Amino acid sequence: MRLKIFGALTRLFAAEPAYAHCDIPCGIYDPHAAQVAAQTVIRMNQLIQGLTLPDPTANKTAVDTYVNSMSRYIATKEHHAELVKKEVLILWGDYFRPEHLEKFPDLHATVWNTVKLAGRNKQTVDMQAAQDLLAGVQRIAEIFWATKGVSVRRQPSLQNVGGETVYPVAE
């Protein structure tokens, strides 16, 4: 009888899966994934802008190829813009503390603007917005490593997208 009651309660009040970076907290945080995602947004903008619209008399295969490429680039751009939001909000909610805000008074505005830029990059094909997104993530990376007392260096990304990536420097 107890098993039936327990089973009914379990079905009635079923727990939904919870997803988080790590609410233990594990202490393992790194802004690198957000930088790569922002660089991917830039690259997808480059690829979208580089696509040539097929001639109105083009055959179906040419049109299908264009639509397929455009669809994939847009989906990837939006996915990676969402990843930027996720990674930045994990740092904001789980890592940064009040003393970090005291030391870096621009942190709140930088995070807020970066998250807003990630949303804008999902909505538009705007290279300046994509570059601004990367700049925001780079600034967050610099602040993140500074809170750990670690120096950083900017190194060329060596990707098609160009630009730089902020890396911690082992001393």
Give exposure, 91-127, as e/b (b: 16+ Cβ within 10 Å): bbebbbeeebeeebeebeebbebbbebbeebbeeeee
Whether the per-residue pLDDT at 138 is higher than 70: the answer is yes
pLDDT-derived band of residue 8, with 50, 70 and 90 as boundaries? low
- Who wins on pLDDT, 4 or 106? 106
Question: Do 137 and 35 meet the contact criterion of CB atoms below 8 Å apart?
Answer: yes
- As a whole number, mean pLDDT of residues 87-96 equals 97
Q: Give the model confidence (pLDDT) of 103-122 as tens digits.
A: 999 999 999 999 999 999 99
Give the per-residue pLDDT at 38.
98
Query: Is residue 119 within 8 Å of 125, Cβ to Cβ?
Result: no
Identify the pLDDT of residue 22: 60
- CA-CA-CA-CA dihedral for 85, 88, 94, 99, to nearest 10: -140
Domain 34-168 architecture? Up-down Bundle (1.20)
